[in-house]
Amino acid sequence: MNRFNIFVYFIKTLAFLLDLLPRILFLGAGIFLGRLIHFLGFRSKIAKGNLLRVFPEKMEAEREAIRKKNYEHFGLLLLEFIRSFYGYKKFLETSCTVEGGEHLKNAHAAGRGVLVITSHQGNWEILTAAGAHLLKLPCNIVTKRLKPDWFHKLAEAERASLGVKMAFEPRTMNIVMRALRAKELVGFVMDQYVGAPLGARLPFFNIPVGTSIAPALLAVRTGAVIVPGYTIRNADGTFRARFEAPLNVTVREGEDAVLIYSQAFLKRVEAWICETPEQWMWIHRRWKGDLSPLPLNSIGEYLK
């Protein structure tokens, strides 16, 4: 038995055992794991710094309460990711409800291709799976390769089993364009740092930082429909996959159009984070690179 098969066997066995746990015990295990990670100080300075940037008006005790709950969320997220390798279709069908599914279906029916903008809110794997498995729509995601390689292969196979196709960064545009021409859905996360050539410095919680302009650029050039979507974990461990009404993209010309729409997309992400701040990835290094103020009266600036 090679190393890859050993790792796969171990993860799938662990996923099977997690699937056997009653929901209340699964929640308890995830919360305990998150508290342990918090105790060990994993990326503690990053989380504290990010919370201070976003919520400077809050008292330190309020930010600390969000941070502690966020680590519990992170522990649950890790266990949910492992659990996805066994019986995930059943888990989705029994634990996830879809809100606003008609927005996604109507956008797909328009026949111009659909760009779903999302963020690392709740459990983004569940959002993608909800579109592909629960709504039976042709879904693609723009994502990065996971490490180590054996884990990437395992995750790729699991996503494919749900009908999710993947376009791996950095060379994704050919795959994305083929998907849009086939009138399929393509998902982009908007809360990761992106540099040149598909990034622009745009205010994210009032701090200019490199952000993907790809969804806005594609919407302006192809007429694809933009649908925002994200997930919320309920207190009982179930999920809501929520798709919002399409965002209005009507201007097709002008250098500022892409920046204006990209900023509008970021505003949706900000609203989601403020709704359930404990369920965003505060440990992610979102703010990096040039964080200096933008030029006066500037919407943003393209990275070169």
* 213-261 confidence digits (pLDDT tens): 999 999 999 999 999 999 999 999 999 999 999 998 877 666 789 999 9
Which pTM was predicted?
A: 0.93
Range of the domain at 174: 3-302
Q: What is the pLDDT of residue 6?
A: 78
Top pLDDT among 144 and 126 is at: 126
Residue pLDDT, tens place only, 265-304: 999 999 999 999 999 999 999 999 999 999 988 999 999 8
How confident is the model at residue 254, as a pLDDT? Answer: 66
What pLDDT shows up at residue 262?
95
Is the predicted pLDDT of residue 4 greater than 70, yes or no?
no
Check whether 1 has a pLDDT greater than 60. no
pLDDT at position 152: 79
Question: Which pLDDT belongs to residue 147?
Answer: 80
pLDDT, tens digit, 9 for 90 and up, residues 16-30: 999 999 999 999 999
Residues 42-78 have pLDDT tens digits of 999 999 999 999 999 999 999 999 999 999 999 999 9
Q: Comparing 170 with 9, which gets the higher pLDDT?
A: 9
Number of domains, the chain: 1
Across the range 185-205, mean pLDDT stands at 94
pLDDT tops 90 at residue 160: no
pLDDT at 128 over 60: yes
CB 262 within 8 A of CB 200: yes
- pLDDT at residue 82 tops 70: yes
Mean pLDDT of the chain: 92
3-state SS, one letter per residue, for the chain: CCHHHHHHHHHHHHHHHHHHCCHHHHHHHHHHHHHHHHHCCCCHHHHHHHHHHHCCCCCHHHHHHHHHHHHHHHHHHHHHHHHCCCCHHHHHHHHEEEECHHHHHHHHHCCCCEEEEECCECCHHHHHHHHHHHCCCCEEEEECCCCCHHHHHHHHHHHHHCCEEEEECCCCHHHHHHHHHCCCEEEEECCCCCCCCCEEEEEECCEEEEEECHHHHHHHHHCCEEEEEEEEECCCCCEEEEECCCECCCCCCCHHHHHHHHHHHHHHHHHHHHHCHHHECCCCCCCCCCCCCCCCCCCCEECC
